[in-house]
Amino acid sequence: MEMVIENLPSHHIAYVRQVGPYGPANSQAMEMLKSWARAKNLLTASTVLFGIPQDNPETTIPEDCRYDACIVISKDFPMNELTPNLNETELPGGQYLVCKVKHTTEAVQACLAAKK
Instruction: Read off the CATH number of the domain in which 83 is found.
Output: 3.20.80.10
In a domain, 50, yes or no: yes
In a domain, 54, yes or no: yes
In a domain, 104, yes or no: no
pLDDT, position 102: 66
55-88 per-position pLDDT tens digit: 998 899 999 999 999 999 999 888 766 577 899 9
Structurally, how many domains does the chain consist of? 1
Residue 62 CA: distances (Å) to CA of 16, 17, 22, 104: 18, 14, 7, 15
In a domain, 72, yes or no: yes
pLDDT, position 111: 65
In a domain, 102, yes or no: no
Residue 41 has pLDDT above 70, yes or no: yes
- Quote the domain boundaries for residue 67: 11-91
DSSP annotation of 43: -
Residue ranges in the chain assigned as alpha helix (H)? 24-39, 105-114
Residues belonging to the chain = 116
86-115 per-position pLDDT tens digit: 999 999 999 998 887 765 667 666 666 665
Phi/psi at 3 (nearest 5 deg)?
Answer: -130, 130
Q: Which residues sit opposite 86 in a β-bridge?
A: 16
In a domain, 114, yes or no: no
